[in-house]
Amino acid sequence: MAFPSGTPVVTLTGTLPSAVAGTGYGGQVVLTPSAILTDSTRHAVYPGGGKVDIVDGVFSVQIIPNDAAGISPAGWRWYVDVQPTRGKRVAFWADITGADGATVRLDSLVPTQAPGGGSIGVPGKSAYEVAVAEGFTGTVTQWLASLVGPEGPKGDPGDPASNLVTSVNGQQGTVVLDAVDVGADAAGSAAAAQTAAAADASSKVGIHASAADPHGDRAWADAKFALASTVSALNTYVDDTVNRIAAVENGTAWLAGLHVAGNAEISGGDLTVHDTAKGYRFRRGGAGLDLEATGADLITSVWSGTGFNGTQYSYDRYAADNHAAQHAGLREFVSALYGTVVHTIDPNGNRLGFHGKPPVAQQAITGSRSDGTALANLLAALDTVGIIDDQTTA
């Protein structure tokens, strides 16, 4: 019997007496619980017992003890049925108790009454119970031993001549039987019948397989059904679809248009990402190529990391509520991409530089207007910023 890990079990063992058992003595012991057992701890159900062979008069089997914790219903018992190949069969109800891992011997069991309400009916009194009722005292094993008497003397051998069969179907003496004498089929008839049956079966299977609709379940409502050619064509379509998808995934083929369910759509070369409140799109359907936003300010920036991480630089903000644009960070104007800087606006350092001049802070103009020093200083400051090229003379 197999039980889930942790199930409390005891080992029931028994040795039938040598006078009954002897070398090679066998049989079996059948154990049946009086109800379907449930184990609330391990969430298991044990619908029945089992049986174990008696080998040379000895058996051993693991079972759940009647006093095991968590086993229901209460008050159940074991029905022990000892079925030896020699000696009398003994069956009785018993409480088999003990701690987990304990060994319980058959000769220690005391037969008891069957439990009320069990799924196995109450058996009649066994021979052992009758013996106890008549005054026998002792265990089941002791009672089994009491049934065996001394071995009798060996009988004389019989006369071989007198033990011969003298008449079979009315024939005397040495008897030679044929199939008719014993009501059997003629020799070879079984093989012939088998060959004929196989041929008949093969013929019927062939007729059945070649029929258009032998069971009336192959055809659709329009009297069509899947032919081999239809299945082959469908397989070709499936293979073609798989190959096309693989080409798109590997970048060797392109989709004319892709519509993605959800908040993103790609159609006609335009990418639109949106939800119920705001969104943006890259659009090529207008006169130019547009990056547009809706429902919120449009912010453009660059991250120093490769996965939108690190430091975020060069902010541009395009307001959603008016014609306004803002830039955060140094702005350089160049004659060509990555070329020489021509003009510089640095809001962080509060500096300006034009026409190739390095950016400088706000210039202070000093001097007197009356004697012309203020004008000279102004020209020098404008030249430093790069707004003018001062080529005046004194």
Examine the domain organization and report whether 102 and 14 are in the same domain: yes
pLDDT at 48: 75
305 located within any domain? no
Q: Do 116 and 232 have their domain in common?
A: no
Burial class for 378, CB neighbours closer than 10 Å (0-12, 13-18, 19+): middle
| Cβ atoms within 10 Å of 241's Cβ, excluding its own | 10
Q: Cis omega before residue 84 (within 30°)?
A: no
Q: Would you say residue 178 has pLDDT above 80?
A: no
**pLDDT > 80? residue 208:** no
Query: Of 33-37, 46-50, 320-324, where does mean pLDDT reach its minimum?
Result: 46-50
**227 in the same domain as 102:** no
pLDDT at residue 89 in the model: 84
Q: Looking at the structure, do residues 18 and 132 belong to the same domain, yes or no?
A: yes
Amino acid 205: pLDDT: 82
Which pLDDT does position 218 carry in this prediction?
Answer: 60
Mean pLDDT of all residues belonging to the chain: 81
Distance CA 181, CA 167 (A): 12
**Residue 117 pLDDT grade (very low, low, confident, very high; cuts 50, 70, 90):** very low
Question: Is the per-residue pLDDT at 119 higher than 50?
Answer: no
Fill in the amino acid letter for 194: Q
Structural domain includes residue 142: yes
Residue 392 within a domain: no
For 235-266, how does the pLDDT look when each residue is reduced to its tens digit (9 = 90+)?
898 999 999 889 888 878 877 776 666 788 77
With a cut of 70, say whether residue 47 has pLDDT above it. yes
Q: Using 50, 70 and 90 to split pLDDT, how confident is the model at 19? A: very low
Question: Which tokens hold the place of 9?
Answer: 């079990």
CA gap 13, 105 in Å, rounded: 5
pLDDT value, residue 37? 87
Q: Are residues 14 and 136 in the same domain?
A: yes
Domain that holds residue 18: 10-146
* C-beta separation of 104 from 94 below 8 A: no
- Count CB neighbours of 93 within 10 A: 22
Instruction: Tell me, yes or no, if the pTM score tops 0.95.
Output: no
User: In this structure, what CATH number is given to the domain that contains residue 32?
Assistant: 2.60.40.3390
CA 254 to chain centre: 38
For residues 138 and 35, state if they share a domain. Answer: yes
Q: Is the pLDDT of residue 23 over 60?
A: no
Q: Which of 48-52, 106-110, 124-128, 272-276 has the highest mean pLDDT?
A: 106-110
Among candidate residues 171, 136, 145, the one with its CA nearest the CA of residue 15: 145
Can you tell me the mean pLDDT for 45-66? 87
In this structure, the number of other CB atoms found within 10 A of the CB of residue 139 comes to 16
CA–CA separation, 148 vs 150, rounded Å? Answer: 7
123: confidence class by pLDDT, cuts 50, 70, 90 = very low
Of 127, 146, 165, the one marking the end of a domain is 146
| Alpha-helix residue ranges (DSSP H) falling in the chain | 127-133, 140-146, 189-210, 228-250, 373-385
C-alpha to C-alpha distance for 36 and 76, rounded to whole angstroms: 9
In DSSP notation, 332-354 reads EEESSTT--EEEEEETTTTEEE-
Note whether 119 and 32 are same-domain residues.
yes
Average pLDDT over residues 28-50: 86
Do 14 and 107 fall within a single domain? yes
* 126 and 16 both lie in a single domain: yes
**The pLDDT of residue 128 is above 70:** no
pLDDT tens sequence across 367-378: 999 998 999 999
User: What's the pLDDT score for residue 90?
Assistant: 87
In this structure, is residue 381 part of a structural domain?
A: yes
pLDDT for residue 352 is more than 90: yes
pLDDT at 134: 84
Question: Distance between CA 61 and CA 81 in Å, rounded?
Answer: 13
pLDDT confidence of residue 166? 47
- Residue 165: the pLDDT is 47
Q: Are 330 and 361 in contact (CB under 8 A)?
A: no
Residue 98 in any domain: the answer is yes
CA–CA distances in Å: residue 240 to residues 226, 231, 243, 250, 259: 20, 14, 5, 15, 21
Domain total for the chain?
4
Instruction: Please indicate, yes or no, whether residues 79 and 47 belong to a single structural domain of this protein.
Output: yes
Residue 131 placed within a domain = yes
- Is 183 inside any structural domain? no
Residue owning tokens 């007496």: 17
Mean pLDDT of 163-176: 52
- In this predicted structure, what is the pLDDT of residue 329? 85
Residue 213 has pLDDT above 60, yes or no: yes
Q: Which amino acid does the sequence have at 158?
A: G
Q: Which of 77, 78, 8, 74 shows the shortest CA–CA distance to 42?
A: 8
pLDDT at res. 80: 92
Q: In the chain, pLDDT over 70 holds for what percent of residues?
A: 79
Tell whether the model's pLDDT for residue 102 goes beyond 70: yes
Q: Is residue 210 part of a domain?
A: no
Residues 34 and 121 in one domain: yes
* Confidence bin at 159 (pLDDT 50/70/90): low
Q: Does one domain contain both 111 and 67? A: yes
* 303-328 per-position pLDDT tens digit: 999 999 999 887 899 998 899 998 88
